[in-house]
Amino acid sequence: AQKVTQAQTEISVVEKEDVTLDCVYETRDTTYYLFWYKQPPSGELVFLIRRNSFDEQNEISGRYSWNFQKSTSSFNFTITASQVVDSAVYFCALSHNINAGNMLTFGGGTRLMVKP
Amino acid sequence: SQTIHQWPATLVQPVGSPLSLECTVEGTSNPNLYWYRQAAGRGLQLLFYSVGIGQISSEVPQNLSASRPQDRQFILSSKKLLLSDSGFYLCAWSEGASGGRGTQYFGPGTRLLVL
């Protein structure tokens, strides 16, 4: 069975601090994809990144970076020098394929509050 | 480029009334389509998904139903709303036949309040 755990339900930081959001997953699939989404107060989920299970290279995009470690089944997300606009709920997700429909299993989300 | 629309943006309905939420996707063909519900302060619950016209799979038994009358149109319906149907409804699409790698892209959502 697929499972995604985001143990941190809420994190509060002061602007310019670095913050890491944890994501641990369970799957029996040998090939899978991992995702991070951002949900700002407006509600729409915004896609941030997709990672292939065969590619463990860390990725950096501006202030965002992702650390994928297959050995520990983790896909953590770090925001460097956080800003108030980073305040949102962040979801980690894991893919699997059922009857030609590519499904995502979402974690419970981590609410990040960045205070000025 | 692809865009996904949902309407209405917000809806207040009395208990027992019918519901129809609509989702349309532009700029792609034969997408996979999904309906999710998010209760206040909670995670995402997959309600329905569709891999083609007229093909609907239900993930959670409830008083909601979904239909896909056209390739890029996905409708969520109910004959009689319950208080527990209140929530934020999100529609999403992904490239069809892409196996497990398909990124899902979400619409702006509909906030439903059942009174």
pLDDT tens by residue, B44-63 = 999 999 988 989 988 886 78
Report whether the peptide linkage leading into residue B8 is cis, meaning its omega lies within 30 degrees of zero: yes
- Interface A–B counts its CB contacts (< 8 A) at 70
Across the interface, whether the CB atoms of A43 and B51 are under 8 A apart is answered: no
Residues A43-52 pLDDT 10s: 999 999 999 8
CA distances from B69 to B24, B56, B75 (A): 11, 11, 8
Q: How far is A95 from chain B (nearest CA, A)?
A: 5
B73: pLDDT strictly greater than 90: yes
DSSP A30-53: SS-EEEEEEE-TT---EEEEEEET
pLDDT tens per residue, range B10-31: 999 999 999 999 999 999 888 9
Q: Residue A4 pLDDT more than 50?
A: yes
What span, in angstroms and rounded, lies between the C-alpha atoms of B73 and B105?
Answer: 15
A residues 4-23 lying closer than 8 A (beta carbon) to B: none
| Predicted confidence band of residue A101 (pLDDT cuts 50, 70, 90) | low
